Amino acid sequence: MPIDSNTWDIEIKPKNKLFDLQLKEVWHYRDLMWLFVKRDFTAQFKQTILGPFWHVVQPALTTIMFLLVFGKIAKIPTDGIAPPAFYMAGLAIWGYFSACFTGTSNTFTSNAGIFGKVYFPRIVTPISIILSNLVKFGIQIALLICIIVYYNFNGFPYHATIHLLYIPLILIVVAGISLGLGIIFSSLTTKYRDFTVLLGFAIQLLMYATPVIYPLSYLQGKSYKWIIDLNPLSSLIEAFKYCIFGKGLVEPYSVLYSVVFMMVSVSLGYIIFNRVEKTFMDTV
């Protein structure tokens, strides 16, 4: 007796379009996405003593090091912002990008086991990494708020502005850039494992080409400022600090450049991701 295809609950079809978002299918697997979010967050601190408290210890120790090296020794200004708050703000948004980028860049190699056993939209995995790192970002923002409150009564009065409402938009653009670049690197590492080594080295260098430990105003008039301006994260991190402290050098065309870069990287990344996921099990 012939089987009516309409009786099947799920029908898996090949992707014929170059750019197939499949948003409906991703939404259908939203429960799996949240399971991945929980897995990514808890796996980081399994069998650790401090657990999620590491999200406070790591940026706190890094901030202290920045205070000594860049504040006391190099004497780099912080635009009149309390140095600990300035460094913590930069580390929070940079840490979010770095964690999302490195996490999504390992999508295929880290999940090859589960990808080879069961079907689900593969893009669910990198999206879950973007969401799980929001928890880490939220913890660091809570620490930043504590620092701002302390220095508000110790020589650096704080005045909140309406620009705080733009922070979610900045986060979306940062997340988009990390997702786009991450899935591009993830697709490349299925064949070329050298990119894994290159990525760790590139992330370290990129931080110093981004205004995390210095304000953009510090580079005014310097011949190499154009290199920093080419970095799409520069304007976003500077805008993030401006939204919080009301101080910084934010140029609209630079922010627009970052938004366009995000759209291009996500589009290109998704196209490459869709092509690679069909054959990656043969090479991973």
List the chain pLDDT tens, one digit each, 284 residues: 455 556 666 655 555 555 565 667 777 777 878 888 887 777 766 656 666 677 788 888 888 999 999 888 888 888 889 999 999 999 999 999 999 998 888 877 777 677 767 777 778 888 888 998 898 899 899 999 999 999 999 888 898 889 999 999 999 999 999 999 988 888 877 776 666 777 878 888 899 899 999 998 888 888 888 889 999 999 999 999 999 999 888 888 999 999 999 999 999 988 888 777 666 554 55
Could you tell me the pTM of the whole model? 0.85
What does the pLDDT read at residue 24?
73
What does the pLDDT read at residue 189?
77
**How many angstroms separate the CA atoms of 19 and 272, rounded?**
9
Q: Note whether 97 and 231 are within 8 A (CB).
A: no
For the CA atoms of 79, 83, 87, 88, the dihedral, rounded to the nearest 10 degrees, stands at -120
Q: How many CB atoms lie within 10 A of CB 156?
A: 19
What does the pLDDT read at residue 89?
94
- Name the burial class of residue 190, with classes exposed (0-12), middle (13-18) and buried (19+) by CB atoms within 10 angstroms of its CB: buried
Q: Which long-range contacts (CB under 8 A, 24 or more apart) does 127-130 make?
A: 127/26, 127/33, 127/179, 128/33, 128/34, 128/36, 128/37, 128/40, 129/36, 129/40, 129/100, 129/103, 129/104, 129/182, 130/100, 130/104, 130/175, 130/178, 130/179
Take residue 136 and report the two structure tokens written for it.
């880490």
Q: Note whether 80 and 105 are within 8 A (CB).
A: no
What does the pLDDT read at residue 35?
84
